């Protein structure tokens, strides 16, 4: 059964390192089915003690399949796709570029416009995630939309 997606929610990992496999492990430790996000955008640091790897900075890794309900935004999971940026409040240029590309792909796939993109904090007053100005992200998406 296909999800009836009408929004994309952007998150951050609240960690300085990680990847989809690490988040999958973290979420399983919380007794979840597995990774709750549909995609994860890396920042070049897979482990807490690893060296920066520019070849994976901005890499989009798959999480939960797009046809499965995510576990990323209470009250909105059944109608949204969740994308997680590795980081807390600083993201690389490569990550920003990958985010915008991925959001454009998702908007086209689900036949949505840029106003369907939200930061987690816009849907939950108790969150600051993804710690970026979502108005600027939507503005950039609208510029590319034409």
CATH of 7-145, one of 1.20.120.530, 3.40.80.10, 3.40.190.10, 3.10.290.10: 3.40.80.10
Give the tens place of pLDDT for each residue, 23-80: 999 999 999 999 999 999 999 999 999 899 999 999 999 999 999 999 999 999 999 9
Give the tens place of pLDDT for each residue, 105-140: 999 999 999 999 999 999 999 999 999 999 999 999
* Half-sphere exposure for 49 (CA within 13 Å, toward CB): 0
pTM: 0.96
Per-domain residue ranges of the chain? 7-145
């Amino acid at each position: 059964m296909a999800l009836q997606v009408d929004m994309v929610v952007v998150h951050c990992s609240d960690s300085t390192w990680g990847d989809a496999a690490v988040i999958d492990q973290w979420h399983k430790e919380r007794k979840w089915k597995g990774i709750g996000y549909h995609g994860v955008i890396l920042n070049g640091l897979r482990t807490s003690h690893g060296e920066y790897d520019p070849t994976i900075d901005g890499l989009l890794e798959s999480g939960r399949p797009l046809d499965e309900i995510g576990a990323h935004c209470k009250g909105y999971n059944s109608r949204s796709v969740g994308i997680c940026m590795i980081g807390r409040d600083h993201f690389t240029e490569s990550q920003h570029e990958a985010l915008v590309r991925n959001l454009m792909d998702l908007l086209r796939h689900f036949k949505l416009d840029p106003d369907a993109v939200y930061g987690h904090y816009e849907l939950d007053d108790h969150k600051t995630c993804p710690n970026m100005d979502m108005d600027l992200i939507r503005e950039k998406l609208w510029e590319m939309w034409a």
